[in-house]
Structure 1
Amino acid sequence: MAANQEEVKLLGSVNSPFVCRVQIALKLKGIEYKFVEENLAIKSDELLKYNPVYKKVPVLVHNDKPISESLVILEYIDETWKQNPILPSDPYQRTLARFWSKFIDDKIVAASVKVIHTVNDVKERAKNVEESIEALRILENELKDKFFGGEEIGFVDIAAVFIAFWIPLIQDITGLQFFTAEKFPKLHKWSQEFLNHPIVKENIPPRDTLFAYFKAHYDSLIASK
């Protein structure tokens, strides 16, 4: 059955790096889909129906079958639509791609997000910045080619969209510079190449809108001190 607009639907939010991952993967595969913007403050009946466990976005709905959690969705997309593979064909390399993608979520996304949320705790914030730097250093040493996927973007690159696009936003909002060209020359160069990829460029959210959204959130946290 051909995948048309009626069969593939993505429940998401334009502010989410996890949703952005799925959008990049779908576009790389050339899959048409319907995007449904969710307001996570007032969760829709559709979101609660399709993701009753986590009640979060993204949720990919393919022929009325829901899949949640962005890395799981990326694997599903790659297995369902074989063109332009994003995971390596070699089993060991494929396992490594999964490992590093989970590392990005567990070590880099988690610590970097806490940098914003610990604005009123100097000691805790310094600890999260240090954890982010340490994890970024490990990832810097793993980058051997133009992209993590070689000459073309792949699974780990897509998972790392948070590093390329969201971390610079966090830096601009907080004034903390922990991901710079001086500290991480290879990763920084990778981030520029990645963001300039035509498909990535087309699917990342408008920076000004996103900056305003997170800045308002950050300012409200400071005000609540």
Structure 2
Amino acid sequence: MSLKKSLGLILAILLIDQVSKFYIKTHFELNDSYHIASWFKIYFVENDGMAWGTRISDFIPFISDKVAKLSLTIFRIVALIGIGYWLFQTTKRQGDKLLVSAISLVFAGALGNILDSVFYGVLFDSSLGQVATFLPEQGYASLLHGKVVDMLYFPLWKGYLPEWIPFMGGKYFTFFEPVFNIADVAISIGFVILIVFNKRVFRKEIQEEKENTLLGETQ
């Protein structure tokens, strides 16, 4: 896949992601929901954390939310630069199409959530108890402290777990509980491709490494 096609895929995902988030922000109050089916609903939540609604404080409880948010945003930007460089180099050496597609998906998803984190605090006011206003006089947060918009919720199964299950037995459980967005889906699909098809997508890189090793041994 060429860099041009890769950029086209990234822009398409980014457009779908940002349009869906903009619609939710300007039509839903925080925690509003719209039931599409018993197992799927649009449920508007915001999170300061990582993909699938997780937060840094879930892993490092002693860090403040403000510091955690700023640190995560900066980390995302640095990671995005690294992913972008990887994508550029892979297309430059005409890497496997599936590999380029996977990197493009991860890049698009990461960029989509970064836009929320960097700009949404300035572009919108609070969604708590009201529908947010686009370009208000004052946003709900400063630059780099915006919240990621999530809205896709798939409670496929709800019920009490059997008593024999260790630690969780007898507890009420929802599968799948995390609320997510299009960017999260793109990132997840990209990583699944890299894991499941790793032998294929990295075949050319492995072959080139072997050839370079043999070339070095013959010199």
| Larger RCO of the pair (alpha carbons < 8 Å, separation 6+) | 2
TM over 0.5: no
More strand by share: 2
TM-score, normalising length: structure 2? 0.27
Which of these two proteins has the greater Rg computed from alpha carbons?
Answer: 2
